[in-house]
Amino acid sequence: MSVAVETVGLTKRYGQVVAVQDLNLRLHTGEVFGMLGPNGSGKTTTILMLLGLTEPTAGIARVLGWDPTRQPLQVKRRVGYLPDSVGFYDELTAWENLRYTAALNGLSSAEANRRIGEVLERMGLADVAHRKVGTFSRGMKQRLGLADVLLKQPQVAILDEPTLGLDPEAALEFLDLIRSLKRDGLTVLLASHLLHQVQSVCDRVGLFHRGRMVLEGTVDELREQVLGGAYRIHVQARGSDVERVLGEVPGVVRVTRTDGDAYRVEARVDCRPEIARRVVATGELLALSVDRPGLDEVYARYFQQLEAQAGGAV
């Protein structure tokens, strides 16, 4: 796959403070990549460097082949950015705000009108196109912000905490809009600290901590790196040496006896059929179920491990 965004050794220091350190990041064309981490972990500073809004202290960045520091206009023409706090002129209507953006991007009047109509329809805002933005809810303003991003027909969309402050229904609607961007072939960089939302929409994620990307991969890969397996299988069984039988199943990483006849099996694959076959051959299978740990558990376990390694100083 072609590469849309790439950084090598990207670093940003503010005096003695290291905001981003030695970041190596590669986003493929058409994927949704989630930058995950708490406030102050380096997500927004990374975005600012990719947009050419702040200059790296060291390292390089390329967005669609362009250097954001030396060729910022080339990047801005091709990248749409939705900040965590969207700014519009409240006394102007949605249509008027987008006309202003269209003028800044050099669109003709006819082309601007065509595109504005399309993006407002797509965002479900056609019926309120001529209402003042000051009357909009936060969810409506976020959708208008995404319409503003799409107006320039970008190849890359960078979204910084786009669902922050939205009610659950509005957040779900916004996540559906992000999925539609992927279907259109856009590359999406999504920065968030809302783990379940990142998990639901992203192809890969990167976990940021103190300016570093400490983990990167698909959710399944992170489950395996941090938890030892992508699947957690719960087994209730009686028989001779059940724990040993479970441990010999291909794909099993760890077996823990939780209570009496209950066992928790961490595995790389969903190996329930083989577990059932082997347990039934040597004893009695009482119950069998599976769940897949979410990013929230990966996140919590990673920092528990980090704290343990550092003796409590994380």
Q: What is the pLDDT of residues 81-118, one digit of tens each?
A: 999 887 899 999 999 999 999 999 899 999 999 999 99
Q: Which has more confidence, 229 or 273?
A: 273
Q: What is the pLDDT of residue 224?
A: 85
Ranges of H-type helices in the chain: 43-50, 72-78, 94-104, 109-122, 138-151, 168-183, 195-201, 219-222, 242-247, 272-282, 295-309
Query: Helices 94-104 and 138-151: crossing angle, nearest 10°?
Result: 30
Tokens 């999504």 appear where?
190
- Hey, what domains does the chain have and what are their CATH numbers? 3-217 (3.40.50.300), 231-291 (3.30.70.920)
Q: Give the phi and the psi of residue 203 in degrees, each rounded to 5.
A: -75, -40
pTM for the model stands at 0.85
For residue 186, pLDDT beyond 70: yes
Q: What is the pLDDT of residue 312?
A: 57
| 3-state SS assignment for residue 265 | strand
